[in-house]
Amino acid sequence: MSIEEKLKEYNVKVNARLGELLSNYDPDYPVITEAMGYSVKNGGKRIRPFMTLLFSELCGADRFDSRALDFACALECVHTYSLIHDDLPCMDNDDLRRGKPTNHKVFGEATATLAGDGLLTYAFEIIADSGATDKAKVSAIKALSELAGYKGMVGGQVMDMIGESKPLDRREYEKMNALKTGALLRCTARLGLSAAGCEDAETYRLCDEYCACVGWAFQIRDDILDVIADQSEFGKPVGSDEKNGKTTVLSYMTLEEAQNLAAQLTNKAKSALEKFGRRAAELCELADFLLHRRK
């Protein structure tokens, strides 16, 4: 089974659980859950949930373990909230996301903002209501709040905004990358290992290194695709980074150099998981898949 086929298989489980989690609504204001569901259900490869489940399995959990599945869905809610807010007129002002109108184009800016807020806060409720141990829940909440917050993804988004008004130097760009994209990918390991009850510090360190390298390579590939991708395939406008005056990896190196750097990071990520042998095969396949993705 190819990694794409595995992604689709896992997506079925993740999407079904997300559907269950988002099935409740208040009849006095159903628009909020409709708006939340619109973006959550709007496709996507579900890379972060997939990684969360794979890290859980790496430490001996069953496939589609219910605890890891809920942690994975919580992370996907946070990721989706970040996309809704990122697309708002006050941020990137994008009209398309995954080939469909962005949330604020369908529901208006106010409802879109609240839909993002709803998904962010609901993520922690999902973790709290999961069947994981109390220790695992606390660990997951700590990881998600830290890596999605101002010390992680939010901080990276702020640096991204700063980069629209002034060029970022390479150190600043790499830090922005590590926070904006890398933080949530690092969170996949923290959540998956926590769900599986892993307490081995070395396992956490090696998995974190894998995620950090994959996250950096992922953002480099995103910068490249913003230049070379076909919009119909990419699912959102191309050339938006240049239009918004953003600093990208191509501000410091050629396209070929960027591609080589992404390949080096991918190899480093796979090397971090060597001690796990065949148990890490799918994570290594995923790293290669993300390196060559077209959207």
List the alpha helices (DSSP H) in the chain.
3-21, 31-40, 47-58, 66-87, 103-107, 109-129, 134-148, 153-165, 170-180, 182-195, 201-228, 231-234, 240-243, 255-272, 281-291
Give the pLDDT confidence score for residue 241 in this predicted structure. Answer: 62
pLDDT tens, residue by residue, 243-267: 666 788 999 999 999 999 999 999 9
Question: What one-character-per-residue DSSP string does 21-64 give?
Answer: HT----TTSTHHHHHHHHHHTS----HHHHHHHHHHHHTTPPTT
Q: What is the pLDDT of residue 246?
A: 76
pLDDT of 243 reads 61
Residue-level pLDDT at 228: 87
Cβ partners under 8 Å of residue 113, min gap 6: 84, 85, 88, 104
User: What's the first-to-final CA gap in the chain, in angstroms?
Assistant: 21
Question: Please, what CATH class does the domain formed by 3-291 belong to?
Answer: mainly alpha
Q: pTM, whole model, 2 decimals?
A: 0.93
> Tens-digit pLDDT profile for the chain (295 aa)?
899 999 999 999 999 999 999 999 999 999 999 999 999 998 788 999 999 999 999 999 999 999 999 999 999 999 999 999 999 999 989 999 988 999 999 999 999 999 999 999 999 999 999 999 999 999 999 999 999 999 999 999 999 888 888 899 999 999 999 999 999 999 999 999 999 999 999 999 999 999 999 999 999 999 999 998 765 555 555 556 656 667 889 999 999 999 999 999 999 999 999 999 999 999 999 999 999 998 8
Q: What is the pLDDT of residues 6-24, one digit of tens each?
A: 999 999 999 999 999 999 9
Q: Which two tokens stand for residue 200?
A: 């081995």
Q: Which position has the token pair 């969360």? A: 52
**What percent of the chain is predicted at pLDDT more than 70?**
95
Q: What is the pLDDT of residues 129-140, one digit of tens each?
A: 999 999 999 999
Q: What does the domain layout of the chain look like in residue ranges?
A: 3-291
Q: How far apart are CA 245 and CA 26, in angstroms?
A: 42
